[in-house]
A and B are shown apart, each in its own frame.
Chain A
Amino acid sequence: MRVQGKQNIWKEYQKEIADDKYFYVRSCVRQNFFPGSEVTFLRILREVLGKNIFEHPCHTTCTGIGYHGDIVPFDTLMTIVARQFSLMTESGFENFVPSCITSFGIYTEVLDTWEHFPEAEEKVRNYLKKATGREFKIPGNLAHASDIIYKFRKEIAAKSKFKLINRNTGMPLKVVEHIGCHYAKMFPDKGVGGAEYPYVLTGMVEEWGGEVIDYPERRHCCGFGFRQYLVQANRGYSLACSYKKFESMAPYKPDIIITNCPGCPMFLDRWQYVINEMEGKKYGENGQGIPVFTYEEVAGLVLGYNPWDIGLQMHQISCEPVLDKIGIPYDIESKYKV
């Protein structure tokens, strides 16, 4: 493998990421899945990077989950997206930062639609005006929250207390990076590093001391898929996708998996338990699973945050072996204390 080859591709896919004054929109599901992640993101931006980041209490779901579940029509979705933009406009911001990858995909898709079909934008402006009396401006900059952390990965590294290094061996942790499908597969030039060799998480991992492994099923979907997961009888189909990925990454003995999507860490984490129940297989060391983290959690760990403050107790796969490996102290007694 020649990293130089990847670097050449990474150079081709650099996107503009605003450096301050963010309008942050949360994910609908992340606060249930891994509730510490978004809190950690806000904390890092405000406390470590000193940025102005604003959340609006009237923000709702982007309805992407309903759109992909075939229950929300595209016109409705566009109008709701327009309403989120109006909240941003009213609040005096222009840099729009979604927490969710599917939302990011939705916003990108809607903006691209409006660019190619201005009449669709006009129609939606009209709908929004009639329904709510609101108006909006197109965001000056649209970046996923992981793009922001990517942009400031060096600043975070400079203030880090820990590195993604195995303190027993001195070797970098082997990291599987898993990018949410809607980050760049639909619009490769909207993702840092493109779609085939995305750099957004790799950049963080490398900067914080880890080593990314490139395994054959790296590009495969985690299996979330929306309607596939939502119908119980189809859920095995979701499971099979994750299973395929684990089988493919196992020979590389990854220490952790890092993700930037709401669904992926949930599924890659919980399915390891289900696969163990169904197939009797575990993919980590010493009869454990492979811990799956969000990039905010990893950033929080690197910055020395208390693992229970960033929500690692919410994971199915225990994080303690990895914390031990890095040398991050934790109080096991307080893991589940409220």
Chain B
Amino acid sequence: MKSSKKVVTIGGGIAGMEASSFLAAMGYDVTLLEKAGELGGHLAKWEKLFPTMRLGKEVLNFLSQGIYENVKVLCNAFIERIDRELDDFRIYLADGKVLEANAILVTTGYDLFDARKKEEYGYGIYDNVITSADLEEFFSSGKEIRTASGKTPASVGFVHCVGSRDQKIGNVYCSKVCCVTAVKQSIELKEKLSDVKIFCFYMDMRMYGMHFEALYKEAQEKWGVQFIRGRVSEACENSDGSILVKVEDTLAGRPMRLTVDMLVLMVGFVPSEGTKKIGNMLNLEFGPNRFFKTRDQHVLTNVSNVKGVFFAGACTAPKEITHAITDARAAASTIASYLEQNSVEKRTI
């Protein structure tokens, strides 16, 4: 059933793609705007996914199958202005196009935390301090894992919670995916370099997802990854370029120092630049953590403070892929009930 109602989705990552697919399947006229040259967002950069080690591109391929002719995709789209006319919107793009919308879905997602802000870890200064995204780039590109001087690392440390749960840099929330990503990447490193010694420095292991705990146990038991409870206080460079890590082994109650050839910083989520920009354009409310504030934390999780504007994905909070996909489908049905003025729309809390 074709509808004359128009929905514009801003952001072509996981949530934007999946919500657009469902809205188009319901018969709406959907335009998906993406600022980059192609769809996929962060997903396109991750080789294997926790907890199953499925290839990221398989999920991307699945999501793409939903983007059929009813979804008009505009890549390299730069939004200049959004006007409101009664309950409808007019979206002006930099290339002169003007889009009309009866509802807008904001799926502007997250950016990775800029690890340079944690000065004490020396990212951008010490050659062998990298981020989880840099390590994933090794995996995706198929490049050999080497230190800056071209040596196969004999030991690698993973620092959890970089840019998360840290009042000092202004992010008090948990980014949810980093613990299990460290476990995933540890296992992948062990698969590639069987002799490498791996240390994970964590505050809590937040293995909340189904199968996460099993993956954690596999990392310990099968792969011998060492988990050390304590937040790294500083990383320093030794004269040979290896990294000296200072941490408290909180379970032994003593400070500890150890050398690793490579230190991987598990960078968390921060609201994306796009989230800030679109939020300001549409006068959307931000929560205390600078992600979008949803109308209600339990039941109106896709609804914004502006009538006709909805959210999905990591623009409201850090989410892993599974959650971003279910959130997108929820947003699609929320938008449909808004456009059709279904009775479920009239509930209050």
Q: Decide whether A and B are members of one complex.
A: yes
Residues on A close to B: CB < 8 A?
Answer: 1-2, 4-6, 8-9, 194, 196-197, 214-219, 251-252
B120 within 8 A of A: yes
Contact present for A5 and B244 (CB under 8 Å): no
Chain B residue with Cβ nearest A13: B119
Chain B 113-143 interface residues, beta-carbon cutoff 8 Å to A: 116, 119-120, 122-127
B61 within 8 A of A: no
Measured CA separation A194–B125 after assembly (Å): 15
Selected from B120, B127, B238, B244, the residue in CB contact (under 8 A) with A196 is B120
Contact present for A216 and B127 (CB under 8 Å): no
Contact present for A5 and B239 (CB under 8 Å): no
Q: Min CB distance, B120 to chain A, in Å?
A: 5
Contact present for B119 and A196 (CB under 8 Å): yes
Chain B residue with Cβ nearest A218: B236
Q: Min CB distance, A178 to chain B, in Å?
A: 15
Contact present for A1 and B236 (CB under 8 Å): no
Selected from A2, A197, A215, A252, the residue in CB contact (under 8 A) with B119 is A197
Interface centre among B122, B127, B238 (most CB of A within 10 A): B122
Measured CA separation A6–B236 after assembly (Å): 13
Task: List chain A residues, Cβ under 8 A from B124.
Answer: 2, 4-5, 8
Chain A residue with Cβ nearest B245: A216
Measured CA separation A194–B127 after assembly (Å): 21
Contact present for A216 and B244 (CB under 8 Å): yes
Chain A residue with Cβ nearest B234: A219
Assuming the contacts A9-B119, A197-B119, asked whether A251 and B125 have C-beta atoms less than 8 A apart, the reply is no
Selected from A8, A194, A218, the residue in CB contact (under 8 A) with B116 is A8
Measured CA separation A218–B237 after assembly (Å): 10
Contact present for A1 and B116 (CB under 8 Å): no
Q: Min CB distance, A298 to chain B, in Å?
A: 24
The proximity string for B residues 185-209 relative to A, scoring 1 for CB distances below 8 Å and 0 otherwise, is 0000000000000000000000000
Task: List chain B residues, Cβ under 8 A from A196.
Answer: 119-120, 234
Selected from A2, A215, A218, the residue in CB contact (under 8 A) with B125 is A2
Chain A residue with Cβ nearest B259: A216
Main secondary structure of the interface of A (DSSP, over half): helix
Task: List chain A residues, Cβ under 8 A from B126.
Answer: 1-2
Known: A9-B125, A214-B237. 7 other contacts (CB 8 A): A1-B125, A2-B126, A8-B116, A8-B124, A196-B120, A196-B234, A216-B244
Contact present for B125 and A216 (CB under 8 Å): no
Instruction: Give 14 CB contacts A-B under 8 Å.
Output: A1-B127, A2-B124, A2-B126, A2-B127, A5-B123, A5-B124, A6-B125, A8-B124, A9-B116, A9-B125, A194-B119, A196-B119, A218-B236, A219-B234
The proximity string for B residues 215-257 relative to A, scoring 1 for CB distances below 8 Å and 0 otherwise, is 0000000000000000000101111000010000000000000
Assuming the contacts A1-B126, A2-B124, asked whether A252 and B116 have C-beta atoms less than 8 A apart, the reply is no
Contact present for A252 and B239 (CB under 8 Å): yes
Chain A residue with Cβ nearest B243: A216
What are the 8 tightest A-B residue pairs by CB atom distance, in nearest-first order? A5-B125, A5-B124, A216-B236, A196-B119, A216-B244, A251-B239, A196-B120, A6-B125
Interface centre among A8, A194, A196, A251 (most CB of B within 10 A): A196
Measured CA separation A227–B195 after assembly (Å): 48
Measured CA separation A9–B121 after assembly (Å): 13
Measured CA separation A196–B237 after assembly (Å): 13
Chain B residue with Cβ nearest A6: B125
Measured CA separation A219–B237 after assembly (Å): 12
Measured CA separation A218–B234 after assembly (Å): 11
Measured CA separation A219–B125 after assembly (Å): 16
Q: Min CB distance, A112 to chain B, in Å?
A: 17
Interface centre among A2, A196, A216 (most CB of B within 10 A): A216
Measured CA separation A271–B124 after assembly (Å): 35
Task: List chain A residues, Cβ under 8 A from B237.
Answer: 1, 214, 216
Task: List chain A residues, Cβ under 8 A from B122.
Answer: 5
Task: List chain B residues, Cβ under 8 A from A9.
Answer: 116, 119, 125
Measured CA separation A218–B126 after assembly (Å): 14
Q: Min CB distance, A233 to chain B, in Å?
A: 23
Measured CA separation A194–B120 after assembly (Å): 11
Task: List chain A residues, Cβ under 8 A from B116.
Answer: 5, 8-9
Measured CA separation A196–B244 after assembly (Å): 15
Chain A residue with Cβ nearest B235: A216
Interface centre among B125, B127, B239 (most CB of A within 10 A): B125
Task: List chain A residues, Cβ under 8 A from B119.
Answer: 9, 194, 196-197
Q: Min CB distance, B284 to chain A, in Å?
A: 30
Task: List chain B residues, Cβ under 8 A from A197.
Answer: 119, 125
Measured CA separation A214–B125 after assembly (Å): 11
Task: List chain A residues, Cβ under 8 A from B125.
Answer: 1-2, 5-6, 9, 197
Measured CA separation A214–B237 after assembly (Å): 7
Q: Min CB distance, A196 to chain B, in Å?
A: 4
Q: Min CB distance, B287 to chain A, in Å?
A: 27
Chain B 84-123 interface residues, beta-carbon cutoff 8 Å to A: 116, 119-120, 122-123
Task: List chain B residues, Cβ under 8 A from A6.
Answer: 125
Task: List chain A residues, Cβ under 8 A from B238.
Answer: 216
Measured CA separation A252–B234 after assembly (Å): 20
Measured CA separation A4–B234 after assembly (Å): 19
Task: List chain B residues, Cβ under 8 A from A252.
Answer: 239
Task: List chain B residues, Cβ under 8 A from A8.
Answer: 116, 124
Measured CA separation A295–B244 after assembly (Å): 29
Interface centre among A5, A194, A251 (most CB of B within 10 A): A5
Task: List chain A residues, Cβ under 8 A from B234.
Answer: 196, 219
Interface centre among A1, A194, A197, A252 (most CB of B within 10 A): A1
Task: List chain B residues, Cβ under 8 A from A218.
Answer: 236
Measured CA separation A194–B168 after assembly (Å): 14
Task: List chain A residues, Cβ under 8 A from B127.
Answer: 1-2
Chain B 30-87 interface residues, beta-carbon cutoff 8 Å to A: none
Measured CA separation A172–B237 after assembly (Å): 21
Measured CA separation A255–B29 after assembly (Å): 73
